Amino acid sequence: MFKYIVRRMLQTIPVMLGVTILVFLLMHLIPGDPAQIIAGESASPAQVEQMREQLGLNEPIPMQYGKFLAKIVQGDLGNSIKSSRPVAEEISLRFWVTLELAIYSTILSVFLGLIAGIVSAVRTYTLSDIGIMIAALFGLSMPNFWLGLMLIQFFSIKQGFVPPSGWGSWEQAILPVITLGTAGAAIIARMTRSSMLEVISQDYIRTARAKGVKERVVIYRHALKNALIPIVTIVGLEFGALLGGTVLTETVFAINGMGRLIIDAIRMRDFPVVQGAVLVIALIFVIVNLFVDISYRALNKRIELNG
């Protein structure tokens, strides 16, 4: 196990290197001049050129990337072009908000998705199964921003149960968590149903039932445990996606998270912030995938972690 973890950690190095190259090049391909943005529209060509010199934008692209990579190795993500503050500080102000939102939404998705998927698999082709699958299809098809607006309209504006925006209290977390958790719950429910149906049809499940084992024990101890592997994969991917894909939800609920930080930085051509934020999200995503792979062995001892 230890050798596998070390091997996987070493494998993240070329992955992260590829991410740095991709992000660096994409940011330089986006139209616009950050020196012009910082200097202002009324700045003279000489002032803009001076700003480009200060930012190091006059240097060749390979040299700029080399300096960028050298700083990352030293743990320095640079300074924000917009605010002149360290990028690490800019990210830390927003990252924990998005992380909380992602964790709460994932917990809700797993809770609702597992229950719905198990019920649907056990009661195949009944009204319960059909109703759950229709609801799951609705959850997958419904845009997050539309659901968020509808929740605000009903629960905040009309009923006044919870605040319509912001982040910091449990009341403010209810609506955005439901908004993000709905789509994830729908995906997990469909995957749980599919995986459970495949496992339930196996010989060892029929043998357990023939021996008189209680149905609850058959479903939760034997079937569910072996059906969890693809579900865990989906949960890991969903959690990673939430860390970098909550911009619409954060905008609707006025939450200052990573999504809004990245969008604002792209609009302002704030290269260091975008690059630093994407690197942090990519690193978290790699770590989550590592934990998912390790969990396979915990769920099924027959799985060998060879990497």
Residue spans of the domains in the chain: they are 2-73, 95-299
CA–CA gap between residue 12 and residue 19 (Å, rounded): 10
Per-residue model confidence (pLDDT) at position 303:
61
Residues 147-194 pLDDT 10s: 999 999 999 988 888 888 888 888 899 999 999 999 889 999 999 999
Amino acid 130: pLDDT: 92
Stretches in the chain below the pLDDT threshold 70: 1, 30-33, 37-38, 40, 245, 297, 300-307
Judge: domain 95-299, CATH 3.40.50.150.
no
Residue 291, pLDDT score = 83
